[in-house]
Chain A
Amino acid sequence: GENVGLHLPTLSVQEGDNSIINCAYSNSASDYFIWYKQESGKGPQFIIDIRSNMDKRQGQRVTVLLNKTVKHLSLQIAATQPGDSAVYFCAEGGSGNQGGKLIFGQGTELSVKP
């Protein structure tokens, strides 16, 4: 299945450093990709999205890179802050998935050390 019960990988960074979180997606027909941030006990929050006709998109302190050749997505967070500590999920969707469903990756837990 798309979601396997694996333990979340973790990334620990120093406050002020840049963070890079990676994600491999599964469906080459997916044409819409989103990064979500989830804090403990809360629902996912939208961070940034990208369509398959782009390979890079920038937001405030965040950049998403898309490499369709190897089906890889990354989220870069500049000047990481303690408030960025959370679990980050990538999700894929679009015409390759019925009914606009999103398929979530396993997630990465980001821990920011002050």
Chain B
Amino acid sequence: GAVVSQHPSRVICKSGTSVKIECRSLDFQATTMFWYRQFPKQSLMLMATSNEGSKATYEQGVEKDKFLINHASLTLSTLTVTSAHPEDSSFYICSARAGSYEQYFGPGTRLTVT
């Protein structure tokens, strides 16, 4: 149990375009999902906390107008990178919280902006 999926696993987009990444909890309901980004050889950096039915809470330094988060249902959260630029190229990972503390991670999405 506690499987989290992400789609797509890899995406290449042109600079200036937008790209949407989906995060789904497949066998449980998640009132809270988290979005991270990870650069090569670095740790996971929390970008935002996504609560079902309410606005996401962004970490300091993360532009909410650039990284749009929607958590429309208990099993789906989406991250849209708007007007992507090469510096947005990164590994984006979501997690879903099942209980008080447990977080289950998705397999990640590799975004490359050309």
Chain A residues in the interface with B (C-beta under 8 A): 1, 3, 5-8, 32, 34, 36, 41-46, 49, 89, 93-94, 99-107
Chain A contact residues, majority secondary structure: loop
22 contacts between A and B (CB under 8 A): A1-B61, A3-B42, A5-B42, A7-B41, A34-B101, A34-B103, A36-B105, A41-B110, A43-B95, A43-B106, A43-B108, A44-B93, A49-B102, A89-B43, A93-B101, A99-B57, A100-B32, A100-B97, A100-B101, A101-B34, A101-B49, A102-B34
Let me know if A100 and B105 touch, CB within 8 A.
no
CB distance from B22 to the nearest CB of A (A): 14
Complex CA distance for A43 and B30, rounded to whole angstroms: 18
Complex CA distance for A32 and B103, rounded to whole angstroms: 12
Chain B residues in the interface with A (C-beta under 8 A): 4, 6, 32, 34, 39, 41-46, 49, 57, 60-61, 91, 93, 95, 97, 100-108, 110
Complex CA distance for A6 and B93, rounded to whole angstroms: 20
Q: State whether A100 and B43 are in contact (beta carbons under 8 Å apart), knowing that A43-B106, A44-B93 are contacts in the complex.
A: no
Q: Which residues does chain B contribute within 8 Å of A93, judged by CB atoms?
A: 101
Complex CA distance for A78 and B103, rounded to whole angstroms: 25
Complex CA distance for A8 and B104, rounded to whole angstroms: 23
Q: Which residues does chain B contribute within 8 Å of A42, judged by CB atoms?
A: 107-108
Complex CA distance for A45 and B106, rounded to whole angstroms: 9
Q: Which residues does chain A contribute within 8 Å of B95, judged by CB atoms?
A: 43, 102
Q: Which residues does chain A contribute within 8 Å of B103, judged by CB atoms?
A: 34, 100, 102
Complex CA distance for A85 and B77, rounded to whole angstroms: 31
Let me know if A3 and B44 touch, CB within 8 A.
yes
Q: Which residues does chain B contribute within 8 Å of A3, judged by CB atoms?
A: 42-45
Taking A3-B43, A43-B107, A44-B44 as given, write out 19 further A-B residue pairs in contact, using a Cβ cutoff of 8 Å, ordered by the A residue number.
A5-B42, A8-B42, A34-B103, A36-B105, A43-B4, A43-B93, A43-B108, A44-B93, A45-B105, A89-B44, A94-B101, A99-B32, A99-B49, A102-B103, A103-B46, A104-B43, A104-B46, A105-B43, A107-B42
Q: Which residues does chain A contribute within 8 Å of B6, judged by CB atoms?
A: 43
Q: Which residues does chain B contribute within 8 Å of A7, judged by CB atoms?
A: 41
